């Protein structure tokens, strides 16, 4: 008796996962985190109207969700000034990125991204046998010119760029992204991850005609809307591309409760405006905490802040480990020189208080280890 025969591609894939969840860490530690500030979650939570809509939908969960996500797409189309046919809704940006890679990347196909950018995108590219070509960050920003230059060389199926960026929190003005779109090589698609763009300065989101075939942009309810656990993402792009998702997507993959929650969240503009202020204030607070400890916080266009710990990656990792041991969940970039930073999510005052109380001791202990 042998097991199943995997595909040759699957046989080559490592058993790695893109992220270890905080729950896994908690189980290893034997106690819960006191402050959950590591996954760029939005601890301020979703709109009370969204919570109410989800609670109300719980009783209707015997029904599958609408596989066309009709109501949500109508609302999103009105919100973005495009047609519903320009929008595909999916189980978070992660799932949609997986579908997009599957649509375009066959074994050996080239894909361009930045060294240190979103690991889950890389996970999908590797998972479909694509070859990743990476460009270093420049000045803690993804480097549009270098991405385009490399793309002209390797003619990739996809170029990934996040604006604002994760894990550094930096953002390019929309015009820089527009210039990228103009320079995308023929047959290459620009994958514009805008997971955090609602939290960025005015002008960060470029005006791109939805029918432009050179770019697809991704948005989510996980960050500004505080609904990471609901798994609602969407992409905006040209109709033929959006329609192609129907060839492969999990049509009945959306939770009916999440559909209801996203719709209610989208309609609550008052809460959104309030949320943007709360997050901006929390960003400032994290900057203050950093300064109190002699560290500098990088400017952030997102709901998290990268704090430069002032030394190398080993030191930042020591700081992170000391914080973890003290019950404070934060994460850090994976590659140098970004990994001189720890990354702290914007969250409620009480969580930031705990972070503020824990940081000096963590720094002391990390320095003592070095």
Burial class of residue 132, CB neighbours in 10 A (0-12, 13-18, 19+): middle
Least Å distance, CB 183 to a second copy, is 12
Applying CB under 8 A, which of residues 66, 85, 284, 321 lies at the interface with a second copy? 66
Of the two residues 104 and 170, which places its CB atom closer to a second copy in the complex?
Answer: 104
Rounded least distance, CB 231 to a second copy, Å: 5
Does residue 343 touch a second copy according to CB under 8 A? no
Interface of this chain with a second copy, residues 157 to 186, rule: CB under 8 A? 157-158, 186
Position among 37, 111, 199, 227 found at the interface with a second copy (CB under 8 A): 227
Q: Which of 78, 145, 252, 270 binds a second copy (CB under 8 A)?
A: 252
DSSP 311-361: S-HHHHHHHHHHHHHTTEE-B--SSTTGGGEEEEE---HHHHHHHHHHHHH
Options 213, 325, 334, 361; binder of a second copy; rule CB under 8 A: 213
Alpha-carbon dihedral sign for residues 355, 340, 118, 168: positive
94 membership: H or E segment, kind and range: helix 92-104
38 touching a second copy, by CB under 8 A: no
Q: Which stretch binds a second copy (CB under 8 A): 96-104, 171-179, 195-203, 360-368?
A: 96-104
Sign, CA torsion 167/172/173/175: negative
Complex with a second copy: residue 201 or 240, whichever CB lies closer: 240
Q: Are strands 158-162 and 110-114 parallel, antiparallel or unpaired?
A: parallel
Candidates 73, 75, 76, 94; binder of a second copy (CB under 8 A) is 94
* Other C-beta atoms lying within 10 Å of the C-beta of residue 143: 18
For residue 29, CA distances in Å to 21, 36, 325, 329, 347 come to 13, 14, 8, 12, 22
Which range touches a second copy (CB under 8 A), out of 14-22, 291-299, 312-320, 352-360? 14-22
C-alpha to C-alpha distances, 282 to 37, 194, 245, 251, 349, nearest whole angstrom: 12, 20, 37, 38, 8
Please select the residue that binds a second copy; options are 111, 116, 167, 247, rule is CB under 8 A: 247
2 is a contact residue toward a second copy (CB under 8 A) = yes
From candidates 19, 292, 349, 361, binder to a second copy by CB under 8 A: 19
Tell me which of 73, 217, 219, 231 binds a second copy, using CB under 8 A: 231
């Amino acid at each position: 008796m042998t097991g199943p025969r995997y595909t040759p591609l699957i046989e080559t894939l490592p058993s790695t996962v893109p992220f270890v969840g905080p729950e896994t860490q908690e189980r290893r530690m034997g106690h819960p985190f006191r402050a959950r500030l590591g996954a760029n979650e939005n601890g301020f939570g979703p709109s009370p109207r969204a919570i109410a809509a989800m609670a109300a939908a719980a009783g209707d969960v015997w029904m599958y969700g609408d596989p066309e996500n009709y109501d949500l797409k109508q609302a999103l189309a009105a919100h973005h000034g495009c047609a519903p046919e320009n929008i595909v809704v999916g189980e978070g940006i992660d799932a949609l990125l997986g579908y997009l890679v599957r649509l375009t990347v066959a074994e050996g196909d080239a894909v361009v991204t930045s060294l240190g950018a979103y690991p889950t995108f890389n996970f999908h590219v590797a998972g479909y046998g694509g070859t990743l070509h990476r460009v270093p960050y420049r000045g803690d920003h993804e480097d549009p010119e270098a991405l385009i230059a490399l793309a002209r060389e390797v003619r990739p199926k996809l170029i990934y760029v996040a604006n604002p960026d994760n894990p550094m929190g930096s953002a390019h003005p929309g015009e820089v992204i527009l210039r990228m779109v103009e320079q995308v090589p023929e047959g290459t698609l620009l994958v514009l991850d805008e997971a955090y763009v609602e939290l960025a300065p005015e002008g960060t989101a470029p005006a791109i005609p939805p029918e432009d075939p050179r770019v697809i942009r991704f948005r989510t309810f996980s960050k500004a809307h505080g609904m990471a656990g609901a798994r609602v993402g969407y992409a905006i792009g040209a109709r033929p591309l959006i329609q192609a998702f129907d060839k492969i997507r999990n049509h009945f993959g959306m939770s009916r409760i999440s559909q209801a929650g996203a719709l209610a969240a989208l309609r609550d503009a008052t809460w959104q405006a309030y949320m943007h202020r709360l997050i901006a204030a929390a960003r400032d607070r994290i900057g203050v905490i950093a300064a109190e400890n002699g560290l500098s916080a990088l400017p952030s266009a997102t709901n998290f802040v990268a704090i430069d710990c002032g030394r190398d990656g080993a030191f930042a990792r020591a700081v992170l480990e000391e914080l973890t041991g003290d019950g404070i969940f934060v994460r850090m970039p994976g590659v140098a020189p970004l990994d001189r930073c720890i990354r702290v999510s914007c969250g409620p005052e009480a969580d930031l208080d705990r972070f503020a109380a824990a940081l000096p001791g963590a720094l002391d202990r990390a320095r003592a280890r070095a």
